[in-house]
Each structure stands twice: as structure tokens, then as C-alpha cells.
Amino acid sequence: MPEVSASIDLCALEGVRLVGPFLARAVAGRNDREARAGRILAMHRAAF
């Protein structure tokens, strides 16, 4: 398994932390733009 840097781990953890409040809302309410935007931001943070 390849070594993973601490900064990558921190980005992934930040993405998980950010998505928490928005994920259920985004799934339940397709028109909840704030929740969908929060979910996208969390995915972006987790990727970088």
C-alpha cells in the first residue's frame, strides 16, 4: 500500500467534517441549494 501524507489525510478528514451537516439535507431535499453547495464544497475539500 502506498504511503499517504499527513496533508492528504487532513484534507480527507476536513471533507468528512464539512459534509456531515449537509449530506442528509441534500439527499432529502433536492431543492435545498445550500445543502447541495455544502456537499460539493466538502467533496472539493476532500479531493485536494
Note whether residue 1 is domain-resident. Answer: no
* Range of the structural domain that residue 15 is part of: 6-47
Q: Crossing angle, helix 33-47 and helix 6-28, to 10 degrees?
A: 160
Note whether residue 27 is domain-resident. Answer: yes
Number of folded domains that form the chain: 1
Q: What is the pTM of this model?
A: 0.63
Q: What burial class does residue 42 get, using C-beta atoms within 10 Å of its C-beta: 0-12 exposed, 13-18 middle, 19+ buried? A: buried
1-48 pLDDT, tens digit per residue, is 456 688 888 888 888 888 888 888 888 888 999 998 888 888 887 776
